């Protein structure tokens, strides 16, 4: 095939430049359109991600607040259990001590006051005895009792012969009645 060149060379170069310009213009335009499309997509994705992040943050807060409530409940229950264990470890069954002390009281003795302090291991009695012999018997019973370590008895307890107001202070054996 034969080509006929009727276009002058300068004009031909101009046409080649114009074609090259249009090609570059089209390629650059396509790149700009692609960049604009990517920008729109990334901006939309950013808003979607921010929305999902906020939802996730709120859901996590709800889960964490529920977890915090559960943890607080567990801590409270553990505290109550440890308090109960402490109370049980310090528990002394006083009914046995009172029963044993009552068995030591002979007829003719009226105990008006009985004080028990397990922390100090102290026991105090006060009351009225109808005779000195009965009071001496009560004193001997207290001194020989297995749960009493030491007995203090003032001399004023034994000055009268009848209707004697007395008081005794006893030191208890440690941990004899602890469970």
Please state the separation of Cα 105 from the chain's center in Å.
Answer: 48
Q: Is the pLDDT confidence value at 45 over 90?
A: yes
CB 172 within 8 A of CB 148: yes
CA 14/CA 24 separation, integer angstroms: 15
Determine if the pTM surpasses 0.75: no
CA 152/CA 166 separation, integer angstroms: 12
pLDDT tens-place string over residues 26-36: 999 999 999 99
Domain segments of the chain as ranges: 9-90, 94-172
DSSP 100-155: HHHHTPPTTEEEEEEEEETTTTEEEEEEEEEEHHHHHHHHHHHHH-TTEEEEE--G
pLDDT tens-place string over residues 134-152: 988 988 998 888 888 898 8
Pairing, β 148-152 against β 122-131 = unpaired
Q: Check: CATH 1.20.1250.20 for 94-172?
A: no
CA 33/CA 27 separation, integer angstroms: 10
């Amino acid at each position: 095939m034969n080509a006929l060149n009727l276009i002058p060379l300068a004009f031909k170069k101009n046409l080649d430049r114009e074609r090259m310009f249009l090609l570059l213009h089209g390629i650059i335009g396509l790149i700009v359109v692609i960049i604009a499309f990517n920008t729109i997509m990334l901006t939309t994705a950013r808003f979607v991600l921010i929305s999902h992040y906020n939802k996730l943050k709120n859901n996590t807060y709800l889960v964490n607040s529920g977890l915090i409530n559960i943890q607080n409940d567990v801590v409270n229950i553990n505290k109550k259990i440890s308090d109960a264990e402490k109370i049980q470890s310090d528990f002394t069954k006083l009914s046995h001590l009172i029963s044993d002390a009552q068995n030591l009281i002979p007829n003719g003795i009226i105990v008006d006051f009985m004080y028990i302090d397990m922390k100090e291991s102290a026991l105090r009695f006060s009351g009225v005895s109808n005779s000195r012999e009965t009071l001496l018997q009560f004193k001997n019973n207290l001194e020989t009792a297995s749960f009493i370590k030491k007995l203090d008895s003032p001399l004023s307890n034994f000055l009268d012969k009848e209707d004697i107001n007395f008081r005794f202070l006893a030191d208890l054996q440690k941990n004899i009645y602890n469970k």
